[in-house]
Structure 1
Amino acid sequence: MMALLKKLFKQEKVKIDFCQNNLDKFLSEQCFSDFNSFLSQKNIDFKEYTCQSKCEICEESPYAIINGEVEKAETAEQLLKKLKERVNR
């Protein structure tokens, strides 16, 4: 039922920003295709920045900024799971 409702009503675009340095550090080749599939959805607008001046977070763990809020995780796989949960709310 929920999937049908989502199709009937246009979803708002979700803006996700990434730090390129952070992706280079934490994103494995295994996880890359999963991220690519997720980010290719019509309701997602993403952008990579060279640096987002969040160096303390960047050194510790993978993160993304989703609609202006920082979302971080222990692994890239966990970050992707959190991003999917946020988008599908």
Structure 2
Amino acid sequence: MRPMVEFCLNRLTPDVIKIKEELEQDPELDVLETSCLGNCEICAQTPYAMVNGEVVTGKDGEELLRNIRRAIEKQQSDFDDLLDLL
């Protein structure tokens, strides 16, 4: 299963657009734009994305990208641990 990263169209600032475009180059990711992700309070305050349905934020675009990558790694690790239990 490929990780899905979603961005709210209302929060596509130049730095977030750059992140989105960088992530779109990764064939292991699904990257989507959505008209509204339903997190308006977060959206108004800070750059954010949804990674497999979980909110990921950053104080700026650079931190957001780092946090997105960390969230993907953690979710994959958690999934791998779950498979090990089976």
Q: Name the TM-score class by shorter chain.
A: 0.7 to 0.9
1:43 and 2:28 are equivalent in the alignment: yes
Residue number among 18, 28, 34 corresponding to 2:15 in the alignment: 28
Report the Cα distance in structure 1 between the residues aligned to 2:39 and 2:60, rounded to whole angstroms: 17
Report the Cα distance in structure 1 between the residues aligned to 2:24 and 2:71, rounded to whole angstroms: 13
Deviation of the 1:64 alpha carbon: 0.5
Which TM-score applies when normalising by structure 2? 0.72
Gaps of 5+ in 2: 75-86
Gaps of 5+ in 1: 1-11
Report the Cα distance in structure 2 between the residues aligned to 1:14 and 1:87, rounded to whole angstroms: 7
Aligned length: 74
1:65 and 2:50 are equivalent in the alignment: yes
Which structure has greater helix proportion?
Answer: 2
1:55 alignment counterpart: 40
Report the Cα distance in structure 2 between the residues aligned to 1:28 and 1:70, rounded to whole angstroms: 18
Report the Cα distance in structure 2 between the residues aligned to 1:61 and 1:53, rounded to whole angstroms: 14
Percent identical pairs in the alignment equals 28
Report the Cα distance in structure 1 between the residues aligned to 2:70 and 2:55, rounded to whole angstroms: 14
